[in-house]
A and B are shown apart, each in its own frame.
Chain A
Amino acid sequence: QVQLVESGGGVVQPGGSLRLSCAASGFTFSNHGMHWVRQAPGKGLEWVAVIWHDGSDKYYVDSVKGRFTISRDNSKNTVYLQMDSLRVEDTAVYYCAKDPRIKAARFPPDYWGPGTLVTVSP
């Protein structure tokens, strides 16, 4: 069965950096785009970034452009989110999620990990 497990969250000061990882199993990882979606405490879901199945294209929500970088290692079945210049408003649970279509990456995700909490606090 499909499993996604995020790691790397924690507490960081404003301006700091964190790298999130998401280990995938149970499907052909190299065939699917992968998303990061976040949820601030008590708030709704916000799409953050997506990477194509082969890493050839990456897109971001405007609020993180230039600060966050999504990447993947298909040999390790892992997707990453490098977060730099963190702000208090980046505080959220970060979920990685699988795109349902093969070799596409623009569709509502079908599987989600349990999430990892990122807290940005002075």
Chain B
Amino acid sequence: QSALTQPASVSGSPGQSITISCTGSNSDIGGYRYVSWYQQLPGKAPKVIIYEVTHRPSGVSDRFSASKSGNTASLTISGLQTEDEADYYCSSYTSLNISVLFGGGTKLTVL
């Protein structure tokens, strides 16, 4: 069981918007602004698409946005495209020990 909880799967149609949640605790997501989101295409390494809760690296589409409320972080993908079909992982700093927490991952299917 992962330290951060994500839905196993979400789906949407091209052009729609979807949101993926990531729930932690006061010791990680709720207490700090060090939450990242990664996109992992099949057979590839994870790529950061969001860092420090809301920031997008250069080159990442502005269709990706993120936020945090309490102990839950959320990733929203708007204007879904078929190339968005991938696994998405959240990650957070934790104050409880020296490690990095990951969510269990969410498989996005674009129908």
Contact = CB atoms under 8 A, between A and B. Distances in A.
B2 interface: yes
Interface stretch (A23-31, A66-74, A76-84, A110-118): A110-118
A3 to B, nearest CB: 12
A41 to B, nearest CB: 12
Interface residues of B, number: 26
A59 to B, nearest CB: 4
A44 B99 contact: no
Given A44-B102, A61-B99, A107-B93, A95 B36 contact: no
Contacts of A44: 2, 89, 102-105
Contacts of A37: 100, 102
Nearest to A110: B48
A112 B51 CA distance: 14
Interface of A: 35, 37, 44-47, 50, 57, 59, 61, 95, 100, 105-115
Interface of B: 2, 34-36, 38, 44-48, 51, 57, 89, 91-94, 97-105
A15 to B, nearest CB: 26
A47 B100 contact: yes
Contacts of A95: 45-46
Contacts of A111: 48
Contacts of B102: 37, 44-47
A47 B105 contact: no
B46 A108 contact: no
Nearest to B46: A112
Nearest to A50: B98
Given A35-B100, A45-B105, A110 B51 contact: yes
Contacts of B104: 44
A45 B45 contact: no
A105 B99 CA distance: 9
